[in-house]
Every structure is written in C-alpha cells, then in structure tokens.
Structure 1
Amino acid sequence: MAVTQRRPGHLLTPRTSYTDCPPDYKFMAELRRPSTPDRAGRSSFSSIRENESVLPQTFTHSKVSSYTGGEEAVDESNSPTESTAPALHMIQTQFQPPVTNPSSKLLGYWSPADSFRGWKQIQVRGKLASKSFGDLQALNQLWANVPAPKVIKDGLNRPGEAPLERLPVEILSSIISLLVLDVPPNGVLRRNVDLMSLLLTSRTVHFATLSTLYSRITIPHSRIFHKFLTHIAAHPTLGTIVRRLDFCHFNPSQLFSTAAERSKARNLTSETLLQCLELTPHLQEFLAQEYLDDDLNTAVLGKIFLGLPRLQAVDFCGCSSDTFRDSFSAIVTPDWPMQLSLRRISLHKCFTLPSSIFETILPRLHRLTHLDVAGTRITDAALASIPATARITHLNLAKCKLLSARGLIDFLATHPAVQELVFLSLATDARSHQLFDADEITALLSVLPPTLKSLSIKGSKMDASHIDQLRPLTKHLEELAVGRSLKLEDINRLFVPDDDDDIEMQVDWVPHTLKYLDLSDFWGSDLDLNYMFSTACAVLRPFSEPLEVVEVAEDVFRRVAKSSAALGRIGWRTSECGRRGWMVRQVNSNGNTTNNVASTTGSAPARDDGRRGWKMGADSWGMRKIPVAQAEVGGMYGSYMFGRQL
C-alpha cells in the first residue's frame, strides 16, 4: 500500500507502490520475535523504510503479520511473477521484568538485546542508511520555512543603523582620529574643521567624535586654552573625556609680542591652569615646557603630583625658572605618599632643580618605565633609590655631571629596574666634561643588556679595543653614538670582518642592524673624508645597509655640504636641523635605496620608514630627548629631540 506524505514545503509527493520500487524493496520477510510472556501475539506490525529512489522525506509502508509461522515472503502486490527476496530478521529483543517483582510477566518492558548496535548501524541494501531522531531533526530544519531576510534599500537605513555607525567604537574612533590636526600651518587658524562637521552627522558619530576631539588636547596658544577652558566649564562632562593636555606647541609670541600683554589678557595663568586641572579629573598625560614654567606654581604642581590619581606621564622639558624651582622645592616633602601613579617622567634640562628633589621623588615611582633627567643634578644616591619593582626601558642621563662612572656601572650591572633597557643615553660634551675613560668604557660595555636598541656614549674616551666589544652590540642596536679618540678605520670594522680573520669567522659573519651612527665626536681632521669617500671604507657603501643616517660634527658637516655632488654620486645626501647635520642615504621615487639595484625593479622590499614602538611616535633617528607620550614630533619637543646639541 502506498502512502502519500506532505513535506514541510507543502509539496505533494508522488504516490508510490511496491511495483514502483526496486525489486529488493517489493517483499518483506517475516519478522520474528520471541513470544510476549503475557500475550501470544499482536494483530499486526508496520514496517517503515525510507524510499531512497524518490525525493527525501518519503517513506514506504508495509504490513506484516506478527505471528506468521513460516519464513515465506509476502507479496503485497499480488504479482505471481516476482521472486522471493532474502529474509530480513528484526533486531533481537529481550524482556526485562520489574525490579520490585522479578517474577512478574505483566509489568515488564521490552528492550533491545545486548547485541543491538544502534539505529545508525542497521544496514539497508548493504549500506548504513538508517536515520536517528537527530538526523530527522536536521532534515526538518533544512526543509522548514525560514523567514526571508528583510531587504533594506540603499539610502534607507534607519537612524543609528548605517554601516559606519554599526562599527565598534574603537574602530570608529580610530578612523575619526585620522582627521585630527594638532597644529594648523600658522597656529592661529581654525583647527579640526572636519571634526566639527562630523559632530553634526548623527548621534553615534557625534559621540565618537567627541571622544576623539577631547581625549587629547593640544594648546598652541592662550586663546585656544581660554576657549577650551570655557567649554569644559560650561559642560563638565567633556572634561572627564580629556586624557592628555599637551603644551609642547605652545608659543605665546603667536598672539602677544611681550609677556606683559600675555599677562594682561589673563587667558593662561596659574589660576586658569589650576581650574583646568580641576575640571579634568581623569587626566593621564600632562606635557609642559619652558614657556609655562612661570605658571607652574605650588598649587598647580601639587595638583599634578598629588591630585590626579590616574596621571601616568609628566613632562617639564626646559623648565628652569626660579619660580618653577622654588615651587617644586616647596611641594616636595617627605610627607608625600610612598607610591605615585607616574610611569613616565621627563625633567629634561631642568638644571635648576636641587638634588633633593630627585632623592625624594624617585623612590616613590614603583612603576617607572621612562626617565629623562638629562642635564639635571641627579646623583648616584637618587638613581640607587629607584624601587626594584620599576621596569625602566628608556633612560636619559646625558650631561648629568653629578653622576660618577663607577656608580653608573654598578647601577646598570646590579639594579633590577634597568635589566630591560631599550634606550640608554650616557652622552656628555667632551669639551667640558668627561664621564667615562677607556677602562670604564670597557667595564660599561660588558654589563649592557641585550635588549638595547639605542646607545649613546658620546663624549667618552675610547680606543680601538672597544670595537670588539661593540661588534656584538651592533647585532641588535639600531642607534649608536660613539665617543672620541677613535679613527674611521676602527669604525669601519663594525660593518665588515677583519682581513686577517680566518675563513670560518668571515663565513659566519652576522650583519649589523644599525640604522643610525653618530660620529659627531670626530672633530675637524679626526674624520678623514678622503678615506670615507674611498672604496676602502664601508660606511657609505651599499653593503653597509641597513645604515641610513650618519651624524657628523658642525665643522665636518660644512665641509661635507660643499661636496654634495660627490656625496650624491655614491647615493647619499645632506640634511640638517638646527645645529645638527646628517648624511642620509638617498631613496628613489619608490621609496627604496638608490644603491639597491633590485629595488628599482620592484623586487626589493620598500625602505624602512623609521617607525618603532620604542620611539614613541618619532620617525627620524638620533633623538636626544625621551618622549613620554605617543605623539607626532613637533613644537618645543621636536627642537630638543632633533634640533639642539647636548
């Protein structure tokens, strides 16, 4: 008997009889099972099989007597010409009596025998074709009516559901941050006009734009500061977004020609600066410089160090006025908390601060990572007082005349806080002060950590024996500033193996990783330009790559600048900024070095852009001030980093 089934898709399946099925499915063998203890037999038994010859979800039904005596096949089609199919036996079952009455034959139940292998193990026509309930559920989901997705026409997005607005806030803020302009070309025109337009786009974009616009505040002149202060005073919620106050671009002469005019305007004073700090309780970075030192009184400094619990970075670059010194000395007392939240601190060229300031502050910086005290009165005792829990990666001790060579070597060799240094500057001006002699340099080079990327020992007295100690360092250093008393022939040994080295050493030679080399301690005739431009010197040759920048002294640079044509023929050019001058390897229009022949065909990798995480936003090589915030280089900080001598 054929049965018509209705599938979930409401399609009628064709009627199927046994005469339509393959021969193996026309006949059903007698199905035997043990007699039920409490009953001799049942009236009928229905067998259901999947019909694989037609559409899925159709079945073939047949009825077989449950107590037929013989194994004779039953032909439901009444066709006398069909042959008898092989007998198929039903799975053996067993009767399970109840646990409470094992002798009862009425209350038990039937279960598959121990030999039952599961429904999926039943073979049909020589293959596993049975389906479990889970399979049927999957098929039901496949054929179920799934509602069609709602089609939204282009340009008809509901408010807040545009593709741009559905982006995560972090990604949307990163996109919007690309429109931020810290300083306009002349510092006075309106800034961030594009961001102002985004504020009017939608609520989602408005919120993301506000976060970008107010998270990092750059103040190029006092009128901008007054406008910003007025706005956050009227809307205090905006002040909670601020994470950075950056005054490194501040220049009072843009609006006022004299200090008296600036004071009369009352835009940026110690009172308004303190009010600004009160309205930005979540501030994390405060970047000042020498033009603000008179406004950093005791109230402002007290708020910075003790009133901003989330503050992580401060920079007082160049602040050296008497007002700044007296205010700093007044607030720093032994009563301070034993731990400060600061991680990055720069007192670069704050040479008027007394040594007691450092001996009081440094022991409280348990999470210190960046310390720039170049040109200050820091002492060996202050350095040794840095907590062992600090993890200093950037350390600038250039021109610190109160430090001793022995104290520095012991500090670098034994203190736990400086075992992962990345940037280390111990430079001095050899014309006025010498920190390390040749023997002390030997001891210093032996204790430097392998994590270093930038090392400056400018101003130290060196000799040719130190090249053997510098060679292993050049395999991981990217910046190196050497001292005086060396010859250019000694420097050449950093780039090529010695001629008298054995063959194995020359074969195993590991190339250097230097990008920047400072030879500014080679004064006058100390730098042999004839040798440098010859083929015997490897410094300016193609095989000295990846070396890109060589810094020279002022008088040497003037001589090199007169030979710019000869310099260009070997693939180099001159560059200068302030009182510093460099020879820079040239690149072609594709951004590849001109010395690399393969680069002109496009097969060589593009030139390194100089960006490194440890440089905190700087692209150029040879910075002499440690940045304490991830930002583009500019303003007063750019001058101290790349435009000034030590």
Structure 2
Amino acid sequence: MPDFKPKTSPDQFMGTAIPPEIVYQILTYQFRDLLRNDHPGTAEKFNENLATFVKSNLTVNKTFSHICQVLIYRYCNLTTAKRFHGLLQTLKDNRTLCNKVEVADFQELTSIGLGRSSEMNKLIKNLTNETLLEFLMLTKANLREFLACENIQDDLDDNIIKYILSPGKVLSVVDFCGCSGTSFTESFIKALEYYYPNMPTDQYQVEPIQQSYQITCLGLNDCIDLPSRVLWKIFKMLPELQKLDLSHTSIDDNTLYHGIPHWKNLTHLSLATCLQVTPRAVLEFFSHHPTITDPDNTSTLEWLNVSVIAHSSSWNEVHTMFLLKKLCQHGHNKTLQYLNIGGLPLYIASSFSEDLITESTYYHQCRDNLQFIKWNFPKLKSLSIKGNNIPISALVEFLTPIDQDHPNCVQKLKFLNISGNSYVNKWTIQDSLLYTCSPTLVALEVAFESWQQIEKLNERHEIIAYRYKNPNSVIKDISTAEQVKWKCYIDSSYGRRYWLYKTDPFLNRDDLESKSNLTRYDLEGHKIIEIINQPDFLKFAQSKIMLGCGLVPQSGVRRKLCYRDLKPPVSQFLNRRGAISLGHTPLPIVTPTLPRGGWRIIHNEDEHNNENDVAIPRRTLLNRPSLRSNNASSRVDSNANNASAASLIRDGLYWDRSVHDLRELSLQEQRIQDLADEQQELRTMANYEETDDEYLHNPDLQRRRSQLRLFESSRSRSGNKVRPGLTGENSSSGSYLSFSHLNHLHKRKNYYFTHPDEFIYDLKDPRTTQRYRLHFEVVDEYQVFGCIERGMYRYYSLKA
C-alpha cells in the first residue's frame, strides 16, 4: 500500500505553522481597516464592521480567538448606555478580560434615544456615577485613555474625577471634551479639595499634596464653566504633560503665565478662542515662560493653535509677527507641523522679491507675514490663516516653492485654510494657479460661496486644472500640460466647513460618493466587503488635538510618548513559549521621569575597591567636566593617585538604581505592593506565566546589563582625539572602525519615515515604491497629527 500522509487542517496550520506574533500583526491590520471603514454609509457601520471581523476570525482556532478578544476589548467604543451596561456585566463575569481594556471612548455616547428622556435614563441605571466608577476600578490595571463627552458630564461626580487625577494608575490620556455645566464644575472643585486641603476656593496654592506623573495628555476643549483657579490647580498636579487642549476655556492671563508649571515635554498646545486671555499675556508666555524658552527642554512644539475670533480680538499685525519671531528664536519653527493663527491679522506686502529677505541669527527676516512663515517654518504641513483678505497673487507666491539655492527652506505645506478671504470668491475660485503652484498642497478650506461654485460646476463636483511645462509662456498648450483634479468634499456633519482636495488613487480618492452607497455581492451571493476610508487630508484640517493613539496605534513612537510604555504590545498576551497569557500589568509612574539613584564608579582592575564605591549625585556629575581626572578620582578612592593611567581609562561610570531616596522608596514600594496584591487574583485565574517583557525588564537583569556596558571605548564621548585604526582609517577606536565602515551601507532605524523620497522598492515597479513612500509618510505624520477615525471624536476635531 502506498504511504498515506494526512493533510494538515487549516486550523492546525494556522495555529502551529504561523507564529502567534505574525497572526497578531495580520489581525491588527485587518481590525484597523474594518473599524476605520466608512462603508456602509449608515450609523451602524461600526457594529456591522465589528461583527464582520468577529465572524471571520473568532472561530478559526484558539490563538485567533484570543487575539480577537485582545483587539476587541482594547478599544471600547461606548455609543449607548445599554452597551456600557453590557460591557460592565461581561467584565464582572469574566475578570480576565479587565486586563485587556485600554481605551474607554464615550465620545459617541448618546444619552437620549428610543423615546426616553434624561430623567428616565437616570432611573434605568445603565450608566450612572456608581456604574462608571465600578468600570474604572475594574479596568484600572491597563486603562490608558478615558475620553468623555458632554452626554456624561452629569455622571462625572467628585469621586470619579478624584480617581482619574490620582496617581498610582497607568491612565495617561484624559479628555473632558465638551463637559460643562454647574454639576460638572461643582464636582471638579470638590474633587480638587482633596489635593488642596484647608485652602479657600478663591485662593491659589503653590503645590498640591499629590501629583500625577503618568498623565501626559489632557483635553479641556469647551469646558467653558471651569473657573481659571480650577485650571491653575489642575496644571500644578500634572508636571509631565505633553499635550494640552485649552480651546474655549476660561483661562486668564494670570493662570497662563504663572499657573502653568515648567513642562519640559510639551509638544501640542491649543489656546484657541480663549476669550479672557489678552495678546500681551500670550506674547509674554511665548517670550519668557520656561516651557517655551528653556533650551534644555526635552521637546519643542509640533502642534500649535492660537486662533481667535477676528471681529472681537485686539490682536494686530505687529503682535502676529512678534509671535512668529519668538517661535523661531526658541527653535519651535524647526519642529512645528501644525500652526493655526486663524483670525490673527497678517501684513501682506504689495510686491515681494527674494532680495527683501535678510538672514539673521534665528530666522530669515522680512516684513511680509506669509513669506516669513514660508522661509522659516520648513516642516509646516497644516496652516490656517482664516479671516485674512489676501490676494490670489500673494497666495500663489506663498505656495510657489523656493528655488534650490535654499535647501533648508523647502516648503512641505499640505493643507491651507483660507476661509473668510474676500479675494477667494465665486469669481476667482477657478484660478488654475491656485491649484497647480504647489506640488505638495492637497487640500484647501474655503468659504461656502466659493465651495458651492465648484460643487455646482458639474455632476462630479470637481475642477480640472492644468500644470503647464512653461507657465510663463503666453501660449498655453493643453495637450502637453499635466492635469490636476480637485474635488469638493461633501459631508454635512461638520458644520460650516468646506474643503477642496486634490485627488489621488491612494489617500484621497475621488470615488467616495459612488463606493459608499453601493453594496455588491459575488456570484455565490456573499457580500463583498470594501474598505473605504475618508480622505487623508482631514487629519490636517483638525482644530482639536487628537490626544490618544486611536483604534490601533500605527506607530510605536506615539504610544511610547503618550503612554511611556516600552514593552511591545504583542508581548502582553503571549508568554515566552508563544502560548496565551493574561497580559502583563505595567507599573504606574509615581515618581519624576528621572529614575532615583546615583552615579557610581566601578574600578575594573581591583574588585575589592567596589566596597569603597561612591554614589555621586547627578548634579555633581554634571558640574564636573571629567570624572577620570586625578582630582575626581581622589574623591572616590584615596589610593587612586597611585593608579596607572591604564587603570583610570578602564574605570566605569553607570547609573545605579539601587541608590534611592529612602522616603520616595518607601512610598513607591507601598504603591507597587498594593497594585501587585490587586492583580494576584487575576494572575491565578489565568494560569499566569512570565512574558518576554517581564523577563527582559527584570531590575536585576537590567543592572547586570548596564555593568556589561561600562567599559565601552571612549568613542561616544565628545572631545576625544581621533587616532588611526587598524585598517589605516581614522577612528576613535579600532573596534569601532568595522562598525562605522559598515554602517554607511545601512540606513539608521526609521530613516525612511523622515526621508520617504529616498526609498526604492524596485526600479521596475514604481507603483509599489510609491505605496511604500506614502506608508512611511503617513506613519511619520501620525506621530504629530494622530488619526481621525471614529464619529464624534472626528466631529469635535473638525467642527466649525
């Protein structure tokens, strides 16, 4: 008989042949595409797409089922109180799912529906302050984002607000967008009394009794009823903020300048339509506040919104230029990618020439505000100059690229808001130069009359412009010109905002209207699922800071910055053997970013000298330029003067985390122990096993790893003399030569994300190369702009 070998079933193949890490990545991409899908164009598209994902993957095998649970429960989109009640009951019945919840999104929640009033919803206790607090307590192990809205503002009592602001949790993103009213304000004031005890409500206190070092993103958009003194106290409690949204709040001059602490990591800031802030206070803040001016800050601004209401503002052209110069003086112009100065008056020269540009220490000097932005903000991708009357010729001059003689001033602008400009009207909106002068521009925001003119131009709601090879020629040859198609974006859910965008086959497609309203089936009657995403330009049109990471983080960099979590996501729920695990519970950050400890010197030649090692305070180290000099060594060991020069070279310096501040150590150990006790029950229920991340981040292993790196060559220190290497080339050390010799053949990590035009997939396949370049560019932009995915979160960001 012939040998018979049974075939491997699909379940066995997917479960054993493919590593679970790869399955995780594949399902992650599928989950993101389905949940971002705007097809079908109904209100239930989220539920329908989620059901499609579950039916397709949940019953394949055990690994698929586990990873589906991880993805589904990671982002909880709570649109109704009934859905919240169902989720809460599920978490109470199955405690192992609590560890998987990372985002609680209430932005789309509607409090009234099916004929119920708000009073009836209070009687039906699906979503109340008690159930909401219970949900937060169950999910506190891994909950990273809490996104609220005005429909739950009355349910946010003082206990919930006190819990959200208290340290000892991994909650990093908090958004109270739209929350206002008497009840919410009184609850906030009562919650802050716990952190500022024995203080009258009308007075300020310098420091609270506790600070949260974990929260990095705070959204107070449209929280108009919170008094300025409350904002003062909130700022003092959050010393590690990176993103702050204060749009349409009651912050005043005193709180802006004196209440904001020294935030060294601030990258996103919004002060839009803050009616109680004067131009003088804003200019003083950008001129003298250490958050903006300190050169030792960890980061500089990448996203800034200082828009005002034009007819009620006291800003003038001098104020606007002063603000732009201060941004350049402190280096923010080199990193700023989003700038919204809508309503601020601009000075536009009647005629401009490059000869009027003069170079100074910090910026290229000129009187024209638009040209100043063009020459000094090279990374700017989104600009709003709403409410300014700027001639078409000046806009074309601004959008025209600078010649190749100034490579550091290359413009990358993709979105421009020129609504409220009387020169851009229904008679001038069809000017081809406006659409063809910039090779990078992908979207324009205009007034309704101008947008309506294009919308009524033809049934496709588009305009065709021509980019001529010789635009200065009198004779225009259309046959040799390049066609550029622009289209109206038709969506009535964002209020009074109207966009024109340049179509392309990848990111800004022109078939959204036809695709979103059709449902197709194959020959066997199965529905064909089409992935239709909204145009990519919408992320540049946002007026609200996108605080969180979205449905699925597109880049580990944004997650690392927001959550300050170094572990890879896949290692949370898979153990070292690839089997299913409960998930690693991260420890919250309860101390400042700099780890407690001291610099320690280890002598390599004599092991007995380790007993005399001295922990050197960090500031002492920074004040001494060299620790290997004889004077520095004499402070460590009295016998070091007799040591040879070779032994001094081999002395090692490292940061010893075992040297702690005893007071902070006792408090931190108590908090860690409390968290460990709470998680012990979950670990037992899920047959907990150590993950790769826990093994690699063991403190003892980290300490041994740091000691192994003590005696690296001195090539990394500045000021070393260059000496010849073994192969005849100059190098700081012979061992480093081979590495540097090979390094130029390989690009550094994530190089193509900032240089996508240099990537070539295949010379014979330019389409795939273009797809890769767009992917690199989109992921790099995600770090600053985030992504606009879900309904109400998108609405708040894009509404007028």
* TM-score under structure 1 length normalisation: 0.65
Q: Kindly indicate whether the alpha-carbon contact (under 8 Å) linking 1:436 and 1:461 is maintained by their aligned counterparts in 2.
A: yes
Corresponding residue to 2:151 among 251, 267, 291: 291
Change (3 A) 1:152 1:383: farther
CA distances 1:147-184 after superposition (whole Å, capped 9, x unpaired): xxxx9953398699522454467536635644764899
Q: Kindly indicate whether the alpha-carbon contact (under 8 Å) linking 2:82 and 2:126 is maintained by their aligned counterparts in 1.
A: yes
Q: Secondary structure at the match of 1:314?
A: strand
Match of 2:371? 468
What is the rounded CA distance, in whole Å, between the counterparts of 1:350 and 1:216 in structure 2? 25
Relative contact order: is structure 1 or structure 2 higher (C-alpha 8 Å, sep ≥ 6)?
Answer: 2
Match of 2:476? none
Corresponding residue to 2:211 among 326, 339, 342: 339
Residue 477 (structure 1) aligned with residue 380 (structure 2) = yes
Letter of the structure 2 residue corresponding to residue 476 of structure 1: K
Deviation at 1:556, TM superposition (A): 4.0
Residue 553 (structure 1) aligned with residue 447 (structure 2) = yes
Match of 2:794? 638
What is the rounded CA distance, in whole Å, between the counterparts of 2:267 and 2:793 in structure 1? 20
What is the rounded CA distance, in whole Å, between the counterparts of 1:287 and 1:481 in structure 2? 26
Q: Secondary structure at the match of 1:220?
A: coil
Q: Kindly indicate whether the alpha-carbon contact (under 8 Å) linking 2:178 and 2:223 is maintained by their aligned counterparts in 1.
A: yes
Residue 621 (structure 1) aligned with residue 481 (structure 2) = no
Change (3 A) 1:175 1:162: farther
What is the rounded CA distance, in whole Å, between the counterparts of 1:281 and 1:438 in structure 2? 49
Q: Secondary structure at the match of 1:252?
A: coil
Match of 1:587? 503
Match of 2:437? 543
What is the rounded CA distance, in whole Å, between the counterparts of 1:517 and 1:409 in structure 2? 24
Residue 391 (structure 1) aligned with residue 265 (structure 2) = yes
CA distances 1:191-250 after superposition (whole Å, capped 9, x unpaired): 435436744443333332222222221111111111111111122222122111111121
Letter of the structure 2 residue corresponding to residue 294 of structure 1: D
Q: Secondary structure at the match of 1:371?
A: strand
Change (3 A) 1:203 1:507: closer
Letter of the structure 2 residue corresponding to residue 635 of structure 1: G
Q: Kindly indicate whether the alpha-carbon contact (under 8 Å) linking 1:371 and 1:396 is maintained by their aligned counterparts in 2.
A: yes
What is the rounded CA distance, in whole Å, between the counterparts of 1:293 and 1:592 in structure 2? 36
Q: Secondary structure at the match of 2:101?
A: coil
Match of 1:434? 313
Deviation at 1:276, TM superposition (A): 0.9
Change (3 A) 1:200 1:532: closer
What is the rounded CA distance, in whole Å, between the counterparts of 2:446 and 2:62 in structure 1? 55
Residue 404 (structure 1) aligned with residue 308 (structure 2) = no
Deviation at 1:457, TM superposition (A): 0.7
Match of 1:214? 73
Task: Indicate the larger mover: 152-161 or 414-423.
Answer: 152-161
Q: Kindly indicate whether the alpha-carbon contact (under 8 Å) linking 2:425 and 2:449 is maintained by their aligned counterparts in 1.
A: no
Deviation at 1:364, TM superposition (A): 2.3
Letter of the structure 2 residue corresponding to residue 394 of structure 1: H
CA distances 1:288-327 after superposition (whole Å, capped 9, x unpaired): 1011111111122122222762110011111112211111
Q: Kindly indicate whether the alpha-carbon contact (under 8 Å) linking 2:307 and 2:342 is maintained by their aligned counterparts in 1.
A: yes
Q: Secondary structure at the match of 2:540?
A: coil
What is the rounded CA distance, in whole Å, between the counterparts of 1:268 and 1:591 in structure 2? 39
Q: Kindly indicate whether the alpha-carbon contact (under 8 Å) linking 1:363 and 1:386 is maintained by their aligned counterparts in 2.
A: yes
Q: Kindly indicate whether the alpha-carbon contact (under 8 Å) linking 2:78 and 2:84 is maintained by their aligned counterparts in 1.
A: yes
Corresponding residue to 2:394 among 487, 490, 506: 490
Letter of the structure 2 residue corresponding to residue 429 of structure 1: I
Identity %: 24
Corresponding residue to 1:513 among 402, 405, 412: 412
Deviation at 1:479, TM superposition (A): 0.7
What is the rounded CA distance, in whole Å, between the counterparts of 1:447 and 1:162 in structure 2? 59
Change (3 A) 1:208 1:294: same
Corresponding residue to 2:25 among 171, 178, 189: 171
Change (3 A) 1:461 1:212: same
* TM-score under structure 2 length normalisation: 0.53
Change (3 A) 1:221 1:400: same
Change (3 A) 1:196 1:332: farther
Q: Kindly indicate whether the alpha-carbon contact (under 8 Å) linking 1:397 and 1:426 is maintained by their aligned counterparts in 2.
A: yes
Match of 2:618? none
Q: Secondary structure at the match of 1:533?
A: coil
Match of 2:518? none
What is the rounded CA distance, in whole Å, between the counterparts of 1:179 and 1:555 in structure 2? 35
What is the rounded CA distance, in whole Å, between the counterparts of 1:194 and 1:263 in structure 2? 34
Match of 1:73? none
Match of 2:488? 574
What is the rounded CA distance, in whole Å, between the counterparts of 1:292 and 1:539 in structure 2? 45
Change (3 A) 1:405 1:182: same
Q: Kindly indicate whether the alpha-carbon contact (under 8 Å) linking 1:270 and 1:295 is maintained by their aligned counterparts in 2.
A: yes
Deviation at 1:581, TM superposition (A): 3.8
Q: Kindly indicate whether the alpha-carbon contact (under 8 Å) linking 1:520 and 1:551 is maintained by their aligned counterparts in 2.
A: yes
What is the rounded CA distance, in whole Å, between the counterparts of 1:416 and 1:398 in structure 2? 21
Q: Write the mapping of 1:157-168 to structure 2, written as runs, cut at 5 A.
A: 162-164=16-18, 166-167=20-21
Match of 2:8? 154
Change (3 A) 1:268 1:180: farther
What is the rounded CA distance, in whole Å, between the counterparts of 1:162 and 1:497 in structure 2? 54
Deviation at 1:339, TM superposition (A): 2.0
Deviation at 1:396, TM superposition (A): 1.1
Q: Secondary structure at the match of 2:82?
A: helix
Q: Secondary structure at the match of 1:467?
A: helix
Q: Kindly indicate whether the alpha-carbon contact (under 8 Å) linking 2:262 and 2:291 is maintained by their aligned counterparts in 1.
A: yes
Letter of the structure 1 residue corresponding to residue 249 of structure 2: T
Q: Kindly indicate whether the alpha-carbon contact (under 8 Å) linking 2:76 and 2:103 is maintained by their aligned counterparts in 1.
A: yes
What is the total number of aligned residue pairs between the two structures?
A: 463
Deviation at 1:640, TM superposition (A): 1.6
Q: Kindly indicate whether the alpha-carbon contact (under 8 Å) linking 2:381 and 2:414 is maintained by their aligned counterparts in 1.
A: yes
Q: Kindly indicate whether the alpha-carbon contact (under 8 Å) linking 1:398 and 1:426 is maintained by their aligned counterparts in 2.
A: yes
Deviation at 1:477, TM superposition (A): 0.8
Q: Kindly indicate whether the alpha-carbon contact (under 8 Å) linking 2:11 and 2:60 is maintained by their aligned counterparts in 1.
A: no
Task: Indicate the larger mover: 346-355 or 381-390.
Answer: 381-390
Match of 1:32? none
What is the rounded CA distance, in whole Å, between the counterparts of 1:217 and 1:401 in structure 2? 35
Residue 313 (structure 1) aligned with residue 173 (structure 2) = yes
Match of 1:381? 254
Who wins on radius of gyration, i.e. which is larger?
A: 1
Q: Kindly indicate whether the alpha-carbon contact (under 8 Å) linking 2:501 and 2:508 is maintained by their aligned counterparts in 1.
A: no
Corresponding residue to 2:231 among 341, 358, 366: 358
Task: Indicate the larger mover: 209-218 or 412-421.
Answer: 412-421
Q: Secondary structure at the match of 1:446?
A: helix
Deviation at 1:278, TM superposition (A): 1.4
Q: Kindly indicate whether the alpha-carbon contact (under 8 Å) linking 2:454 and 2:463 is maintained by their aligned counterparts in 1.
A: no
Match of 1:67? none
Q: Write the mapping of 1:592-607 to structure 2, written as runs, cut at 5 A.
A: none
Q: Kindly indicate whether the alpha-carbon contact (under 8 Å) linking 2:303 and 2:337 is maintained by their aligned counterparts in 1.
A: yes
Deviation at 1:549, TM superposition (A): 1.1
